[in-house]
A = this chain, B = another copy of it.
Amino acid sequence: MNQLLSPSVALPKVASDLFAPIARDLEEAERVLARTLHNARPGVSRLIEHLNHYRGKRLRPALLLLTAHACGKVTAAHHTLAAVVEMIHTATLVHDDVLDSATVRRHVSTVNALWGNQTSILLGDYLFTHAFHLTSTLGDAEACRLIGEATNRVCAGELHQICQRGNLELTEQEYFDIVEGKTAELTACCCQLGALCSGQPAEVVERLTAYGRGLGIAFQIADDLLDLVGEERTTGKSLGTDLEQQKLTLPLVHLLENATPELARRVRQILGNPANHKREALRPILVETGALAYAQHRAEEIAAEARAELVCLPASPCRAILEALTERVVHRSA
């Protein structure tokens, strides 16, 4: 057990300056989250404390709260739901790290690296159930339904992805199916709940849901690009895991769909090779064929479409932040 990375790393406060206007709301959501997860048993509470290291960008609670602000009304239900979406996201991170055998996340050892896979599985379950219970305390069955539906799709997307692992014939459509489930469903739900609980009419809720979905897809494409060409030092997490597990992402899907048979054969050979260094071997091919540029361009396109949905809201500082996010998610190094 590697305790080296565990101890006194300073907790990142609200990660991005971009979120300064909603700092108090984010802090309130954090308080709800801490209160909800609190457990008196020392063994359990030590695990929950470690999760503080996992929370970095707070993108999902921020999305929910920014949407609420941009819609003109922030309520206690928003703070609760912001905590809920962060808990669900953290649950998926904890389980993802087991799936990926990841040892580092946000520059800190993962729960599985420190306490093993078994503990990680149960801790993820604990986070899921506490998120659902917290939602139910709002006394609003519709909120429970929306959170339930979103998490259903997140898990179906993840399950679909794992069933497609090793499928080197994955189509672009299938890639987008997976991403819409595993990532964009939750960001869509954040904006949907933010707008709904502000009492917005159906059309606005729908457009903001579409914004959240597009933002999530763009974010995931950028994340997949980082897994291929990012630096572990900057991103603070294990990289190259998609390749190791033969999970195809957009640049590779595009490359394989458009390469000459000769090149496609070579790429599949690299992917099938159990030896390491897949990233290094593939990078020049992905650059030369324009596959990386294609994926980056698609991410920017989808982000721009998401941004266009925001015209349904009056101009405001928080709308401006939602707009800025569509740039940030596709131009990032971490």
Contact = CB atoms under 8 A, between A and B. Distances in A.
A92 B129 CA distance: 12
Contacts of A134: 148
A128 interface: yes
A118 B148 contact: no
23 contacts: A41-B156, A41-B160, A41-B163, A43-B159, A43-B160, A43-B163, A92-B125, A95-B121, A99-B121, A119-B159, A122-B159, A122-B162, A125-B155, A126-B152, A126-B159, A129-B152, A130-B152, A133-B148, A133-B151, A136-B145, A136-B147, A138-B141, A141-B144
Given A99-B118, A121-B99, A129 B148 contact: yes
A47 interface: yes
A154 B128 CA distance: 12
A151 B138 contact: no
A140 interface: yes
Given A121-B121, A122-B95, A139-B141, A132 B159 contact: no
B39 A162 contact: no
B162 A119 contact: yes
Contacts of A92: 125
Given A125-B158, A136-B147, 15 more contacts: A43-B164, A47-B159, A98-B118, A99-B118, A99-B122, A119-B163, A122-B158, A125-B125, A125-B155, A126-B152, A128-B128, A130-B148, A132-B132, A132-B151, A135-B148
Interface residues of A, number: 48
Given A136-B141, A141-B141, A123 B43 contact: no
A199 to B, nearest CB: 19
Interface of A: 39, 41, 43-44, 47, 91-92, 95, 98-99, 117-119, 121-126, 128-130, 132-141, 144-145, 147-149, 151-152, 154-156, 158-160, 162-164
Contact of A132 (B98, B140, B144, B160): B144
A241 to B, nearest CB: 12
Contacts of A139: 141
A88 to B, nearest CB: 9
A156 B164 CA distance: 33
A92 B162 CA distance: 20
A129 B145 contact: no
A121 B149 CA distance: 19
